[in-house]
């Protein structure tokens, strides 16, 4: 069983190598990419069932037992997020293949896209599964290096500018991460997360708070928590829509996962939860208000992404079983719905030839399928019952209301910022789908893949985006069993016992 | 817990300060140098986290208590490789910026300025078409 834990990391990496070798055959590259991601999705499902039945599954690299060696750990949280992330990467890969076939024809191999895409999946899998702080750093670097290439592919002047911001900010946060690893190692003499759980508890209060704050800053930059969010709305909208969908779905959530993991496992006892509560409020409000000011559809969605990071942060700040369970459920829901919205936005800009919502109009008449496809994730994001957004938000609100006056007040902010999300979505709906139909504009720059503007809506792309929307509907349908799993995952996270026993053996108790 | 001496703490602090100062500059070359300097600071800190120097950590070569801690060195080596690769990537990006724009200055976000300048929420896009002449001139090259 423990071999299975390594495969979600090894398979995409192997696939990335194979797609470099097969860079002459587009069909082979696509088949490898899809086959690898399907295999990882199946593996993640198997791991989730196994971890849910028997507890965390651990693989020790090179036969070195933790805390000396590197351990990969698949517990309920890691396996669940791995499964959802892989489903999203699969759908986005199919979408981008369809887009490429529609624009450039069937026989157009790409030397960079497929290898980098699979490498990014490697980094994401490793970040979820690692039980080691330094390996987490390496996982982030694998993931971010691949994302640097994806965001600056087919460089135009605007993409150079946004890519520069993105790369510089990410590198800075990585170097702060490295600093944090060095300080943690100097203080405790270990980088194994399960071992750190015990060691950090024995440190003096001041030192522990400094380390905890550094962790919040490092993962706060990666997760785009206000006031460290400024790079996100600058950079994401300048990438091609499948890449933006992938980044919006996964990268910030991986940062949030790292924050959740370290807050629960390593720093459960310190006072940074009040800080997290304030950051959650700022993130929700600034993100939602920023979205209302935007005219560019992708920038609007990017600000909404920032706003919804605040919800997940709120669940961590509540820090009881209900709050953590709500956060996990929200992450699962948000990965799918945010990626769907960016894919649909790609279809809309393709149809209209612009990203400015003022220049669109009447799409409900000219492209009714697109209207339905936009309405489902938009309502889900706003949290209208009976969608998955409502289920996840309800879990967070219940957690907030049940744990004191301060969190109940912040739960009010959650409701208010949901209404702002709904308002932003209604504004998009009125401008884009109602009104008089506008003729499609011509593509301003045909080489950049940013606004493709062909006036067409290829069916395979609609199907790929639709399948992702179906996943988010399925989350709402399966909300009962899913929230049971997230509840058990949250209990594990706060208990810390099962994770530590699985990694370190019985003597950790 | 490992503590380091004051001179080393000052060196690490100075490297971080210089690096972050350079990061705040407009020129991409300076930003790149800033990243490199902070990277050096972080790697030095990682080295210092291993404690005082000692004998080579080879079994049978020295008693375990006289050995130096090999783990931070392995971590620093990995980190050096990663920073090196990403520095190269940034250099390529700077070169591309120079080819496309004729300079390597980091630009403001056009959309940000457009949103900031807007008076009314609706219908302001039309009269914005002549905005950012220098940006457009740069993009056309």
**Mean pLDDT, contiguous 10-residue spans, chain B (141 residues):** 85 96 90 94 92 84 84 92 92 86 74 70 45 41 36
What contacts A105, CB < 8 A, 6 or more positions away? none
Helix, strand, coil tally for chain B in percent (to 5): 65, 5, 30
| A161 closest CB neighbour out of B1, B35, B106 | B106
Instruction: Indicate whether B20 belongs to any domain.
Output: yes
> For chain A, what is the total number of helices (H) and then of strands (E)?
20, 2
| B42 closest CB neighbour out of A149, A179, A187 | A179
Chain A residues within an 8 Å CB radius of B124: 295
**d(Cα A123, Cα B82) in Å, to the nearest integer?**
14
Locus of tokens 């996840």: A392
pLDDT at B76: 92
Is B82 in Cβ contact with A172 (below 8 Å)?
no
Is the separation of the CB atoms in B68 and B53 below 8 Å?
A: yes
**d(Cα A340, Cα A356) in Å, to the nearest integer?**
19
Q: Which of B25, B46, B116, B126 has the most A C-beta neighbours within 10 Å, making it the best mutation to test the interface with A?
A: B46
Dihedral over Cα of A412, A413, A414, A419: its sign: positive
Q: Which of A472, A300, A495, A499 is nearest to A377 (CA)?
A: A472
Structural domain range at position B38: 6-106
Cα–Cα distance list, A163 to A143, A152, A411, B113 (Å): 15, 6, 36, 18
**d(Cα A438, Cα A474) in Å, to the nearest integer?**
34
Is A182 in Cβ contact with B101 (below 8 Å)?
no
**Does the CB of B53 have a partner CB in chain A at under 8 Å?**
no
Instruction: Indicate whether B65 belongs to any domain.
Output: yes
Chain A residues within an 8 Å CB radius of B90: 167-168, 171
Report the number of distinct structural domains present in chain A.
1
Instruction: Indicate whether B56 belongs to any domain.
Output: yes
Instruction: Indicate whether B11 belongs to any domain.
Output: yes
Instruction: Indicate whether B35 belongs to any domain.
Output: yes
Is A295 in Cβ contact with B49 (below 8 Å)?
no
Q: Which of A266, A259, A270, A267 is nearest to A194 (CA)?
A: A266
Min distance B7 CA to chain A CA atoms (Å): 17
**Does the CB of A405 have a partner CB in chain B at under 8 Å?**
no
Dihedral over Cα of A273, A202, B4, A504: its sign: negative
pLDDT at B119: 58
Q: Which of A159, A273, A162 is nearest to A215 (CA)?
A: A273
pLDDT at B131: 42
pLDDT at B96: 86
Is A186 in Cβ contact with B4 (below 8 Å)?
yes
pLDDT at B127: 42
Pairing mode, strands A71-74 and A57-60: antiparallel
Is A356 in Cβ contact with B109 (below 8 Å)?
no
Instruction: Indicate whether B41 belongs to any domain.
Output: yes
**Which ranges of chain A have pLDDT less than 50?**
none
pLDDT at A270: 62
Q: What is the CATH number of the domain that holds B45?
A: 1.10.287
Instruction: Indicate whether B139 belongs to any domain.
Output: no
Give the H or E element holding residue A74. strand A71-74
Structural domain range at position A300: 2-508
Report the number of distinct structural domains present in chain B.
1
Chain A residues within an 8 Å CB radius of B38: 172, 175
pLDDT at B129: 42
Chain A residues within an 8 Å CB radius of B39: 175, 178
Chain A residues within an 8 Å CB radius of B35: 168, 171-172, 175
Residues 223-242 (A) with a CB less than 8 A from some CB of B: 234, 237
**Does the CB of A423 have a partner CB in chain B at under 8 Å?**
no
Chain B residues within an 8 Å CB radius of A146: none
Torsion of the alpha carbons at A337, A340, A344 and A349, rounded to the nearest 10:
90
Instruction: Indicate whether B60 belongs to any domain.
Output: yes
| A356 closest CB neighbour out of B3, B118, B125 | B125
């Amino acid at each position: 069983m423990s071999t299975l834990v390594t495969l979600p990391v090894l398979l995409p990496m192997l696939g990335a190598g194979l797609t470099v070798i097969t860079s002459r055959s587009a069909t082979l590259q696509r088949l490898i990419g899809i086959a690898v991601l399907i295999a990882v999705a199946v593996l993640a499902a198997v791991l989730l069932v196994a971890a849910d039945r028997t507890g965390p599954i651990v693989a020790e690299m090179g036969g070195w037992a933790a805390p000396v060696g590197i351990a990969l750990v698949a517990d309920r949280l890691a396996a669940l997020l791995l499964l959802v992330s892989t489903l999203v990467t699969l759908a986005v890969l199919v979408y981008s293949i369809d887009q490429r076939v529609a624009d450039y024809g069937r026989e157009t191999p790409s030397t960079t896209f497929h290898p980098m895409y699979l490498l990014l999946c490697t980094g994401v899998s490793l970040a979820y599964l690692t039980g080691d702080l330094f390996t987490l750093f390496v996982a982030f670097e694998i993931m971010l290096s691949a994302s640097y290439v994806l965001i600056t592919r087919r460089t135009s002047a605007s993409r150079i500018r946004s890519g520069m911001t993105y790369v510089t900010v990410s590198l800075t946060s990585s170097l702060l991460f490295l600093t944090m690893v060095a300080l943690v190692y100097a203080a405790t003499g270990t980088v194994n997360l399960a071992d750190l759980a015990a060691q950090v508890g024995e440190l003096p209060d001041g030192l522990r708070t400094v380390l905890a704050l550094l962790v919040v800053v490092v993962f706060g930059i990666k997760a785009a928590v206000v006031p460290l969010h400024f790079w996100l709305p600058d950079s994401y909208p300048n990438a091609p829509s499948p890449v933006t969908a992938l980044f919006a779905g996964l990268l910030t959530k991986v940062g949030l996962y790292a924050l959740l993991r370290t807050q629960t496992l390593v720093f459960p006892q310190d006072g940074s939860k009040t800080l997290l509560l304030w950051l959650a409020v700022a993130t929700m409000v600034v993100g939602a208000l920023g979205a209302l000011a935007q005219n560019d559809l992708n920038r609007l969605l990017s600000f909404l992404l920032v706003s919804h990071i605040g919800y997940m942060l709120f669940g961590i700040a509540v820090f009881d079983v209900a709050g953590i369970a709500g956060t996990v459920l929200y992450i699962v829901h948000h990965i799918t719905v945010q990626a769907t919205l960016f894919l649909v936005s790609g279809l809309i800009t393709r149809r209209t030839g612009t990203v400015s919502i003022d220049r669109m109009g009447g799409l409900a008449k000219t492209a009714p399928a697109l209207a339905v496809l936009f309405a489902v994730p938009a309502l889900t994001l706003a949290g209208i019952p009976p969608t998955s957004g409502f289920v996840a938000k309800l879990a967070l609100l219940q957690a907030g209301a049940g744990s004191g006056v301060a969190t109940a007040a912040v739960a009010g902010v959650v409701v208010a910022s949901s209404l702002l999300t709904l308002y932003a979505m209604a504004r998009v709906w009125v401008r884009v789908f109602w009104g008089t139909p506008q003729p499609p504009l011509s593509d301003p720059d045909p080489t950049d893949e940013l606004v493709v503007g062909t006036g067409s809506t290829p069916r395979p792309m609609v199907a790929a985006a639709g399948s992702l929307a179906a996943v988010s509907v399925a989350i709402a349908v399966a909300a009962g069993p899913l929230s049971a799993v997230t509840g058990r995952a949250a209990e594990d996270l706060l208990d810390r016992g099962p994770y530590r026993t699985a990694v370190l053996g019985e003597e950790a108790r | 817990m490992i503590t380091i001496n004051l001179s080393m703490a000052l060196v690490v602090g100075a490297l971080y300060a210089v690096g972050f100062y350079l990061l705040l500059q407009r020129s991409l070359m300076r930003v790149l140098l800033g990243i490199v300097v902070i990277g050096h600071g972080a790697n030095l800190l990682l080295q210092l986290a291993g404690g005082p120097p000692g004998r080579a950590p080879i079994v049978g070569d020295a008693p375990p208590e006289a050995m130096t801690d090999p783990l931070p060195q392995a971590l620093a080596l990995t980190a050096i490789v990663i920073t090196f690769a990403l520095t190269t990537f940034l250099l390529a990006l700077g070169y591309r910026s120079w080819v496309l724009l004729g300079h390597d200055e980091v630009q403001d976000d056009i959309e940000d300025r457009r949103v900031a300048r807007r008076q009314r929420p609706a219908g302001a896009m039309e009269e914005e078409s002549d905005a950012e002449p220098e940006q457009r001139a740069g993009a056309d090259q």
